[in-house]
Amino acid sequence: MRFCLLQGPQGLEFVSIPGDHMYQFVALFRRLHKEMDKLTAGEKPVLPTVIAEFNDLELVSYDHSVVDGLDYINQLESLFADIQEENYPLISLLTEIRAFQAQLEYLAEEEEN
Q: List, in order, residues 6 or more apart from 90 with CB less than 8 Å away.
A: 39, 80, 83
pLDDT tens-place string over residues 50-103: 999 999 999 998 888 999 999 999 999 999 998 887 777 788 889 999 999 999
Please, are residues 101 and 73 in contact by the beta-carbon 8 Å criterion?
A: yes
Bridge pairing between strands 49-54 and 66-68: unpaired
**Which pLDDT value is given to residue 83?**
87
Q: What are the extents of the domains in the chain? A: 2-112
pLDDT, residue 20, reads 93
